[in-house]
Homo-oligomer: A and B are copies of this chain.
Amino acid sequence: MSRSSRATTVRKSPAERSAEIVDAAVALARREGLSAVKLRSVAAAAAVAPGLVAHYVPSMDALVATAFERITRAELEEVREIVLAASTPAGSLAELLATVFDGEREDVSLVWVEAWTLGRANEALAASVREVMDAWHATLSDIVAAGAESGDFRVTAPNEAAWHLLGLIDGLSAQTLVHWRPASRPAVLGELVERVLGARPGALATLTPD
């Protein structure tokens, strides 16, 4: 009864353990937000002593930035694949909006909104935020430009329209985060976006599957 605890510890390779810790941080951030990524909570999630987390990570700020990057990059990649599967720019955009507003992305929305404020005290995070936002804008810009070229969209400034769309996506996501809006109404949203882009009415109608 003297040497009570000290749960049988297993030694892993630094690479493996490091990956486990980052994975735990990512999972934690996805579940409870970036602000839940603490030294001790990550350690608990990775079933590891607090000191080990600090040992494998330069700082908690860096770990938070890494978690943000992993989560948001994965989301963007997912959306990109869906977009590429569509045959027309209008179809791409319809699928993109349907995906982003499918109501199952509150976790990622929370990560985004937290990142905007935490970035003020975490330079690494701020840099990541700018990076991923940039990538989002590029994706949207490509779609809008393609639609402008094909004639599906009638826009004079595809670049600015992409900003507009990104702002709209961010803003509506944040709104749903506050649980204050029942749920974005995709049908009306599609109609409004059609107008923004000068698309043929109904071009984004796939936003309402049925």
Contacts and interface: CB of A to CB of B under 8 A. Distances in A.
Contacts of A171: 166-172, 174
A161 B195 CA distance: 11
B126 A157 contact: no
A133 interface: yes
Contacts of A175: 133, 163, 166-167, 170
A78 interface: no
A69 to B, nearest CB: 15
A59 interface: no
Name the prevailing secondary structure of the A interface residues: helix
A134 B179 CA distance: 12
Contact of A133 (B117, B120, B178): B178
Contacts of A205: none
B166 A189 contact: no
A170 B174 contact: yes
A31 interface: no
A91 interface: no
B180 A133 contact: yes
Contact of A191 (B110, B156, B181): B156
A145 B116 CA distance: 33
A185 interface: yes
15 contacts: A33-B120, A114-B117, A116-B177, A119-B178, A133-B180, A160-B185, A160-B189, A163-B175, A164-B168, A164-B188, A166-B171, A167-B171, A168-B171, A171-B172, A195-B198
Q: Which 4 A-B pairs have the closest CB atoms?
A: A171-B171, A167-B171, A170-B171, A160-B188
